[in-house]
Amino acid sequence: MPQFDLSTALPQILWLILVFGTLYLIVRGLVPRVERVVENRRARIAGDLREAEAARDAARASASGGNTALAEARGKTLAVIGKARDAANAANARKLAEIDTKLKARSEAAAASLDAARVAALAQLDVVATQATVELVQRVAGVSVSDAEAASAVQKVAA
């Protein structure tokens, strides 16, 4: 086995030292660069985090400002709706009062018309009752009665 051959061990050890020394020097030169890259990335990430926090704070402030504006707009809207409702209620009240006045006038006119019709019907009732009395007495008793006598009899019974 070549690993146990001492005649080739010295060149192998020299090559080992040479390769590891070269690798050591290369890595030693690269480590500061890698550290700088890592530090730059770390700083960039920290800066991005600060910017994100600032943007989040700005968004929250903007949202709270938007909420305030929204609340103010709701308040104004409710005030306008309240005024419109009050105006509509007042207009409805005026219309109801006008309709009530018209209905009251119609009702009074109808009541007066009914009273006149009742008086006319009562006047006609006396005439009809008188004529009916004359005809009933003539049919039942077979006696002829004058209109004046029948009217007198109807007046006595009605009173």
Quick: pLDDT tens for 139-151: 888 888 888 888 8
Quick: pLDDT tens for 65-102: 777 878 888 889 999 999 999 999 999 999 999 999 99
Rounded to whole angstroms, the Cα distance separating 105 from 11 reads 135
For the chain, give every domain's residue range: 2-158
CA 48 to chain centre: 44
Cα-based angle 71, 75, 79 (whole degrees, multiple of 5): 170
Is pLDDT of 23 > 70? yes
Share above pLDDT 70 across residues of the chain, in percent, rounded to a whole number: 97
> pTM, whole model, 2 decimals?
0.40
Q: Please give the average per-residue pLDDT across 129-134, as a whole number.
A: 84
